[in-house]
Structure 1
């Protein structure tokens, strides 16, 4: 599978109703490009792949919207909507917030969100300029998983880092 095939299959699986095979997601992950923490700063809207992982559906019940990476050492992993529809960082659910690091996962170094209060790591790879694929890893999870697979799409009103740099010129 090349990167164009991976992107197309990613989109199909993202829109698929029903279960997604983690092996297919792993095949896509294997060909995607790694990212650096500085490249993913901004606001991201999230979603999950239904792989049968025990976490599937849990974040939706909490009103999960996505993640915000304000700075490398200021990451909000659980941005949720309250009953009024307002966004907030659910520090209670996340047991704090997080930071971004470059961490090796499956033999590649890529941007990884390290939670402050939980032994949890979210690894990221680039699908395209506005989409990231994520794999949640945690202490005690065997090398073969099961992992929680999710995606992030740059929030519609959030400027891309490249456009922020142009604005500052």
Structure 2
């Protein structure tokens, strides 16, 4: 699969809006280009792919909105909406915030968000200039069933649409 085919597959997955296999997402991941931390600075609207991973329900329950990358050392990984619709950085759920590093994952070095308070790494690759794919690891533990890796997508939010986020 090349990057053009990967973009078409991603569009089809989004349009269908149904459960997607991790095999399809693995193929999509392999076709995409790696990114550097500075390629993802800014605010991003997130969406999880439905694979059956336990994190999907947690993100939905938290009313997850996306991520904000102010610099390599200042990342808000879990921007959520409260009951009034206001955005906030959910530091309790994320056990802190995060930073960006270049990390090898599946044989490639790419921008990776490292959570401050838990052993979770979100690896990023580029679909196009305004869309990123993420794969989070390690999130499985002995005795848990279902997909071992949650998958998500993020779309860049234009500066004019960026509301303030309380910490």
Structure-1-length-normalised TM-score: 0.88
1:151 matched residue in structure 2: 153
Supply the distance in 2 between the matched residues of 1:147 and 1:15 (Cα, whole angstroms): 22
CA RMSD of aligned residues (A): 1.7
For 1:2-151, what aligned pairs fall within 5 Å after superposition?
A: 2-138=2-138, 146-151=148-153
Supply the distance in 1 between the matched residues of 2:148 and 2:99 (Cα, whole angstroms): 23
**Total equivalences in the alignment:** 157
Alpha-carbon spacing, 1:100–1:158, altered in 2? closer, same or farther (3 Å): farther
Cα distance, 1:57 vs structure 2: 2.3
2:165 matched residue in structure 1: none
Structure-2-length-normalised TM-score: 0.89
Supply the distance in 1 between the matched residues of 2:151 and 2:95 (Cα, whole angstroms): 21
Residue segments in structure 2 that go unaligned for 5+ positions in a row: 162-167
Per-residue displacement from partner, 1:109-136 (whole Å, max 9, x unpaired)?
0000000000000000000010000001
Q: Is the Cα contact below 8 Å between 1:112 and 1:123 reproduced in 2?
A: yes
Between 95-104 and 14-23, the greater mean CA deviation after superposition: 14-23
Cα distance, 1:85 vs structure 2: 1.0
Supply the distance in 2 between the matched residues of 1:14 and 1:156 (Cα, whole angstroms): 21
Residue segments in structure 1 that go unaligned for 5+ positions in a row: 160-169
Cα distance, 1:15 vs structure 2: 2.6
Cα distance, 1:14 vs structure 2: 2.1
